[in-house]
Structure formats: C-alpha cells, structure tokens
C-alpha cells in the first residue's frame, strides 16, 4: 500500500485511476485545479487538494502533508487543435507545470513518478505498428509539450540515481467505469465515441466523418482504442514495478486499430439509433493509421489490455451517457 498523489484526479482518466487505486487499497490524494476537471468525479474516499501544479511552494506542502510515496501525473491540457492556436498555454501548463511538480518532488524527496504521456510524441510515424524505439517528432504543440517532459525526466533521472519514473504513451482512450460511476465529460467534446453517443441522444444533429479516401480497407482513418479501465490498470502495474533508477517507456494500446466507420457502426448497433452521419473533407495532419505495438509492456510486466472489442468500450460509455446526458452537471 502506498500514498499516491494523483494530479488531474478530477478528470476523465485521472478519476478512473483514483477509483482503481482505492480499490487496490492505496491511500490516494487528488490534486486538481478544477479548470477542466469535475468535483463530482472525485472519489469520496480520496483526499482532495484544489491546487494548480505551478504553485510549487503549496505543492511542496501537499506532498509533505500526505507523506507521498508516488505521484501519478495526469494533469494536462489535451486538445490538439487548441494547442496549435494557444501554444504558450500548453507549454506553460503541461511542460512548466510538470517542471514545478518535479521541483516539489525534489524538495520533498518523492522518488517515484508515473507520467501520462501520449502517442502524439511520435508525430507521423514511419511505420505501423508503433514501437517505443521509433523517432519522436511531434506535429503539434500538445505533442511537443509532452515530449519536452520526457526529455526533462531523462535528464533529471540521470542526475538522481534513486529517482524512478515511467512515461506511458497512450493511444485513444475509450469507455467508462463498468459500474457506471464515472464517465467522459469534456467541454468541448472532440473524442469520437462521446460525439457519436451525443448524436444518438439527439444532443447534436449529425456526425461528420473527415475523409473516406484514405489508404485503409474502408477508406476511413484507423486508430487504436484502449479502454480507460485497462489504461489505469496499466498505470497501477507500472507503479508497483518501479525500482530506484528505473526509466521506463511503454505504449498503451490494444495493438490493433478500428476504423472510423467501424466505430460508427458499433455506436449505432449499441444504441439502436440510426443517427445522421455526413462526409466531410480530410482534416490536415490526420495520418491514415495509428496503432500501438504494446508487446514491450506485456513482455516486461505481463500486462495487456483485456478489452479489445470496440463494441464493449462503446457499451460501457453508452451506459454512462444514458444515465448522465448532461455529464456531471446532471
């Protein structure tokens, strides 16, 4: 059992991680500024500190107060398009915020970190599936803001032999808690499954598919969708495995992709609603395929995703959306 500080623990992935850690009997503290997180998503058994990561001195106090053993770091802005129009905000929040966190950890002797990175650090990879040793060359400030953190972690670890960390590069995260207690509530919503389910609920009039002339079997983009409960389980497995001096990098995905049309068909089948779908032009910078080779974490830690059928992820998400049509505001 550990004392774990979860940054961004009021957000989509962070709240699921808190739930999972508490079920594993860890003592959990949520740190969130509630800019995009939801107070209603904070687990009742977790301590809560409303704080911005860039408040270094206050963060030092939080780490000491809760006798923190490990930090699980999810707090970040994560809209690719927004990062292009507001790059300074992304570097300030994602990169400088993590730098402040590391300063606080350094000051308090906290030596273990599990970092939420992203497959966006790979940019447009030269081959599929994506392995951890492929060149990292992001094509947007969001990806760079995370890659800069990976670089900082490498340098900090090189100067501190007993510091241990893992950078977990996610692919597309989907689904919700199987018990219906937690789900996805973003404003604006850009993730495909919530958009489709909002269309099924009649909250939006139609869904646009951006391009159907890609070099894929059905012409639409293919992506790797990992269930959020699998994702947070991987974080817990990695946290338990970290030893002093470890520097670990893992892709988190299911190792195969589903096309946009396949996800649309799954959403229609699960909801029973034939919502309107229209075809739009390609979006700039959308690679035809992105999916993980997740064999490294399987080989090293015997972890692999359990949910590999997109329909199951959609079914979990649909339960949440039916019960919470207005998200946590309902």
CATH code where residue 277 lies? 3.90.25.10
Q: Is residue 180 part of a domain?
A: no
In three-state secondary structure terms, 42 is coil
Q: Does one domain contain both 228 and 285?
A: no
Q: Does one domain contain both 72 and 152?
A: yes
Q: What is the pLDDT of residues 38-94, one digit of tens each?
A: 999 999 999 999 999 999 999 999 999 999 999 999 999 999 989 999 999 999 999
Are β-strands 172-174 and 258-259 bridged in parallel, bridged antiparallel, or unpaired? unpaired
Residue 164 host element (H or E): strand 164-170
**CA diameter of the chain:** 57
142 as an active site residue: the answer is yes
Q: Is residue 50 part of a domain?
A: yes
Q: Is residue 311 part of a domain?
A: yes
Q: Does one domain contain both 240 and 266?
A: no
Is the per-residue pLDDT at 330 higher than 70? no
Give the separation between CA 307 and CA 137, rounded to whole angstroms.
Answer: 29
Q: Does one domain contain both 167 and 268?
A: no
CATH number reported for the structural domain that contains residue 147 in this entry: 3.40.50.720
Q: Does one domain contain both 307 and 230?
A: no
Q: Is residue 148 part of a domain?
A: yes
Q: Is residue 185 part of a domain?
A: no
Query: Token match 């817990």: residue?
Result: 236
* % of the chain with per-residue pLDDT over 90: 94
Give the separation between CA 176 and CA 16, rounded to whole angstroms.
Answer: 8
What residues have CB less than 8 Å from 23, skipping those under 6 apart? none
SS3 of 94-161: the string is HHHHHHHHHHHHHHHCCCEEEEEEEHHHHCCCCCCCECCCCCCCCCCHHHHHHHHHHHHHHHHHHHCC
Q: Does one domain contain both 79 and 128?
A: yes
Read off the DSSP letter of residue 242: -
Inter-CA distances, 298 with 177, 242, 309, Å: 23, 15, 19
Q: Does one domain contain both 167 and 86?
A: yes
Q: Is residue 274 part of a domain?
A: yes
Residue among 90, 122, 142, 170 flagged as catalytic: 142
Q: Is residue 281 part of a domain?
A: yes
Give the separation between CA 106 and CA 68, rounded to whole angstroms.
Answer: 12
Question: Considering 233, 252, 271, which residue would you say is the last residue of a domain?
Answer: 252
Are β-strands 289-290 and 247-252 bridged in parallel, bridged antiparallel, or unpaired? unpaired
Q: Does one domain contain both 137 and 58?
A: yes
Q: Could you tell me which of 94, 99, 145 has the C-alpha nearest to residue 121?
A: 145
At residue 110, the pLDDT reads 98
Please give the tally of structural domains in the chain: 2
Q: Does one domain contain both 38 and 112?
A: yes
Is the per-residue pLDDT at 238 higher than 70? yes
CB 238 within 8 A of CB 168: yes
pLDDT tier for residue 131 given thresholds of 50, 70 and 90: very high
Is the per-residue pLDDT at 296 higher than 90? yes
Q: Does one domain contain both 233 and 304?
A: no
Q: Does one domain contain both 68 and 199?
A: no
Is the per-residue pLDDT at 133 higher than 90? yes
In terms of pLDDT, which residue wins out, 98 or 180? 98
At residue 166, the pLDDT reads 98
Is the per-residue pLDDT at 248 higher than 90? yes
Q: Does one domain contain both 196 and 302?
A: yes
Query: Please, what is the average pLDDT of the chain?
Result: 96
Q: Residue 323 sits in which domain range?
A: 192-223+255-329
Read off the DSSP letter of residue 281: P
* % of the chain with per-residue pLDDT over 70: 100
């Amino acid at each position: 059992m550990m004392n774990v500080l979860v940054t961004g623990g009021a957000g989509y992935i962070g709240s699921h991680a808190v739930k999972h850690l508490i079920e594993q009997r860890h003592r959990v503290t949520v740190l969130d500024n509630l800019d995009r997180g939801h107070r209603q998503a904070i687990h009742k058994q977790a301590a809560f500190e409303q704080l911005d990561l860039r408040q270094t001195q206050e963060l030092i106090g939080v780490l000491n107060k809760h006798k923190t053993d490990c930090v699980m770091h999810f707090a970040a802005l994560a809209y690719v398009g927004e990062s292009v129009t507001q790059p300074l905000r992304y570097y300030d929040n994602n990169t400088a915020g993590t730098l402040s966190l590391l300063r606080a950890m350094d000051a308090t002797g906290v030596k273990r970190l599990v970092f939420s990175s992203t497959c966006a650090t790979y940019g447009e990879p030269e081959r599929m599936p994506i392995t951890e040793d492929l060149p990292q060359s992001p094509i947007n400030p969001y990806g760079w803001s995370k890659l800069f953190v990976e670089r900082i972690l490498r340098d900090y670890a090189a100067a501190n032999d007993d510091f241990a960390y893992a950078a977990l590069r996610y692919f597309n995260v989907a689904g919700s808690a199987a018990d219906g207690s937690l789900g996805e509530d973003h404003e604006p919503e850009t993730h495909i499954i919530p958009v489709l389910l909002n269309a099924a609920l009649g909250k939006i009039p139609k869904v646009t598919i951006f391009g159907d002339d890609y070099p894929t079997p059905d012409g639409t983009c293919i992506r790797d969708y990992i269930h959020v409960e699998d994702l947070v389980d991987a974080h817990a497995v990695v946290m338990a495995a970290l030893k002093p001096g470890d520097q670990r990098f893992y892709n988190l995905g299911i190792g195969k992709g589903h096309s946009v049309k396949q996800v649309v068909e799954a959403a229609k089948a699960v909801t029973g609603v034939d919502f309107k779908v229209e075809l739009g032009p390609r979006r700039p910078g959308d690679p035809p395929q992105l999916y993980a080779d997740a064999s490294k974490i399987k080989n090293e830690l015997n972890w692999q995703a359990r949910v590999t059928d997109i329909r199951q992820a959609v079914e979990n998400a649909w339960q949440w959306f039916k019960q919470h049509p207005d998200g946590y505001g309902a």
